[in-house]
Structure 1
Amino acid sequence: MRSPSTSTDLRASHRARCQAVSSSSRGGAGAVGHAAIQLGVWAGATVITTVSSDAKADLARAAGAHHVVQYPDDALADRIREIAPDGVDHVVEVAPAQNAALDVEVLANHGSIAYYANNNGDDFSVPIVPSFIKNARWQGLLLYTVGPDALNAAAEDITAALRDGALPVGEDAGLPLTWFPLEETAAAHDAVEGGATGKVLIRVSDETLV
């Protein structure tokens, strides 16, 4: 298994029992969660995702998630363990400060937690004893420092997934696209800051590229 490429980890783990996407309010319906769901499904994993609303649950299902768990829910860990009694093999985490304890609780022995977010600069605490009891691996991920080998491996996997048609976008695929013309760039920024679901895009030109 090549590390720390999440896509490569998933592809190498064909025997994975479950792929959990543990997330913030934009989790399974956000861009990172959406990509994690699609890559997990493409890699042959069973995908569990957590979301904060019925509307986002619909988007996560459209992206391909096999199981959707909605929060806030005091029994969130129990619900995930009902789906994956032996725990999940991989967690893709975008809110580690909020979810570190939950991630370890639902993790399988020798599982990994890949986190990609800074929680607005917040620190987070790792549950030390539960983590080493489960031989857990906490894996940070930043494209700029991940290194050429892992970056190339991820690019190969993503290219293969694209060729397989496994990464569609748009509301029907679980990732709504909101377009703005170039002259409304400020409004596009406002939409992002306002928490727009999916991706906000700017149309630079109406001309078709050849």
Structure 2
Amino acid sequence: MSDIGLTSGDFTEESEPFALFATWLKDAEASEINDPNAVALATVDADGLPNVRMVLLKGFDVRGFVFYTNFESQKGQEILGQKKAAMCFHWKSLRRQIRLRGEVEVVSDEEADEYYQSRPLGSRIGAWASKQSRPLEGRFALEKAVAEYTAKYALGNVPRPPHWSGFRIIPRSIEFWHDRKFRLHDRIEFRRDADGDGWSKVRMYP
């Protein structure tokens, strides 16, 4: 492993990226007004064309970075088809950015069930009512579907839809970027060849 210290500015001496990510996310939670866990998610379709959209990070640990979605949506189909994705966090108030990319796995049913049941009732109903990424003939059709599922699950628990679950990005690389004067930014990239390998650490030209 290369021995490149993260001593410049707000970087700390971390030998692996997850602890540093946790520190930066905590800083963002104290600094960002809205959704510090918002992240741009990039995928690729069957033709090799990229897509990007904002999602919310719902969990992370040494296994990877987790978000949830409708598997029948465009991003769901693209990830299931390619099993690869990338993320980019940007916290403007802190002048910081984190990029990561890697293979993707589906979370366990137990993880998906636990998170789904923690969601507000309206969000659980919405997961049933929305045919995500498909044409909608009018707002009324969506509101009608919401009303129908609200009535269907008026009593008892709202089960998790079979097409709704989570993805975990298992990163091959994670880059930490911090703005500096005259565009001489700090960039530190953690790299590994496969899940379970140790991380190497490289300082990059801005």
Whether these two folds match at TM > 0.5 is no
Give the number of the structure whose residues are more often helix, by fraction: 1
Name which one, 1 or 2, has greater alpha-carbon Rg: 2
Give the number of the structure whose residues are more often strand, by fraction: 2
The two structures have a TM-score, normalised by structure 2, of 0.22
The two structures have a TM-score, normalised by structure 1, of 0.22
